[in-house]
Structure formats: C-alpha cells, structure tokens
Structure 1
C-alpha cells in the first residue's frame, strides 16, 4: 500500500500534462513502514532520455524516444537521496527514515499499466506510479510494485489528508 494526499496526486497529474506528448517522470520521497509507504514529497524531474541514456541499457533502445521512455539523471537520484538523509538528520532522532520510496512516470496515450521495459528496469521495494495521459489530459493513475519473481503487482493507493 502507498499513502499519498490529493495534492501529491495533483502534482503528478500536472507534471504529466505539462510534458505531454512525452513521458514525464519524478521521484517519490517518503517513509517505509510495516503497513506500507507514506509519501511526504513528490519531486517532478526532467526526462533525460536520449541516445546516451539509451546506451546505458542493454538491448537496442536507441530508437526509442521520450514519448515511450523516461530516464531520471543518476546525479539527481543521488542528490535527492543525500538531501533526504540530511533533512532527516536535522529533524533529530525522533524522525523516521525519509527515503526515495518510488518513481512516477506517465504513459502518453497508453494505459497506466507497466510496460516490459518498465518491469526490466524496476527496482525491488519501490512503488511505481503510472498516470495515463490521453490527448493531453491526465486520467487513470495506478501504483505498482515488484513481487519476489520480478513481476509487477497492483498496489493499493490510499488517500491521506
């Protein structure tokens, strides 16, 4: 289960609509607990997918475009994780551990279900929120996580206030 507010959902939808017809992407920061994940911040990022990014992945993905692929710059992922830890340290010992708990991206003119490429490059333990954008308008939004067999399973989204 992943818990997030209407404001978090709106941030994802707005970013997805603003990048259409390309895929959007971003980082989900929050807390991990036994009962699920709680989102604290949604951080939209630039989709840096290009020929160089494609070369980092196995197989011939160089012909794919930002309309069907996304990539978050590794330095942004690292910087975000470091900043989350620094902010945690500033809050003191009472704070729960703030981490990157997931990634979001859009599927322009395609359903909010993971592609095979999404599955191949997904990381265990993360939530993957996908929003379908049809003709420039954000629609269905679903969350997914990998099971022990590296297959996506639907994840319950709970709204918090």
Structure 2
C-alpha cells in the first residue's frame, strides 16, 4: 500500500492539469515500512520524451500526449539526493490525458517492479481519478491495495 496526503495528491493533480494535453511525470520520494510505502515528497519532472527515447526503449513511436520519459540524469541526481536523506524513490507518477488511470502496454514495458506507479486520468484538462499500481512477478500490473482516489 502507498500512503499519500491530500496535499501530495493535490500537487500531482495540479501538475497533471498544468501540462495537459501532454502527459506529466514525476517522482515519488519516501520510505518503506513493512508492506507500506510512505510518500514524503513529490518531485515534478519534465517530460523528456523525444524520438531518441523511442529508439532507445524499442517501443512504438508516440508523442508527449501519450508517452513520458524522465531523463536518466534527473533519476540519478534524485536517487543520490534521496539516499543522502535516508529516503528512496518509491514510485513514479504520470498522467493519461483523456484516458483512464489504467496502465498501458507502454507503461508496462518501461516499469520496474520495485516502484509504485500512480496514474492520473484527465478528462478535457481536469483530473478525474488517480490510481496506483505495482508490477507483479509476472510483469503484470496489479492495483495497489485498493489505492484509488476520485478527484
């Protein structure tokens, strides 16, 4: 289960609405206590999706309206900074403009098992739902212990 405050959810929601019609993305920073992931900080990042990402990841072409990428140098920098604070990257969030908060095949192709994946569904620029998912041992997404938040 991932635990987030209303303020953190609102921060993610605002980022998604401000980047519409493109996908937003960001990092979820926190700590793991037993079965719980405790969200401490939300870090909005730039969606760095481009043609090189398509080639590097060997995935179908797309645009920032249906794809996202966090630059590797951003991931490494944040990973180091969080480790220095005895925290970890516990997940990634991104938006699905005018699509449900359900992981796509692209999301599955780039997912890592140790992370939670929060997806924000937007309808005509307004956030309507946020759900969290994790990748199981068969590389299939599962809902994160009923984490669901109608916005």
Coarse TM-score class (shorter-chain normalised):
over 0.9
Q: Any gaps of 5 or more consecutive residues in structure 2?
A: none
Larger Rg: 1
Secondary structure of residue in 2 paired with 1:56: helix
d(CA) in 1 for partners of 2:148 and 2:36?
10
Q: After superposition, where does 1:97-136 map in structure 2 within 5 Å? A: 98-136=87-125
Provide runs of 4+ in structure 1 moved above 6 Å: none
Call closer, same or farther: CA 1:51–1:146 in 2, change over 3 Å.
same
Kindly report which structure 2 residues correspond to 1:61-140, keeping only aligned pairs within 5 A, or say none: 61-62=60-61, 64-88=62-86, 98-140=87-129
Compute the RMSD of aligned alpha carbons.
1.3
- Asked if structure 1 preserves the Cα contact closer than 8 Å seen for 2:11 and 2:42, the reply is yes
CA offsets 1:7-31 (integer angstroms, 9 cap, x no match): 1100110000000000000000000
TM-score by length of 2: 0.94
CA distance in structure 1 between the partners assigned to 2:26 and 2:3 by the alignment: 17
Number of positions where the alignment pairs a residue of Structure 1 with one of Structure 2: 148
Give the TM-score, by structure 1 length: 0.88
**TM-superposed deviation, 1:35:** 2.5
- Compare relative contact order (CA 8 Å, sep 6+) and give the higher one, 1 or 2: 1
Distance 1:148 1:87 in 2: 29
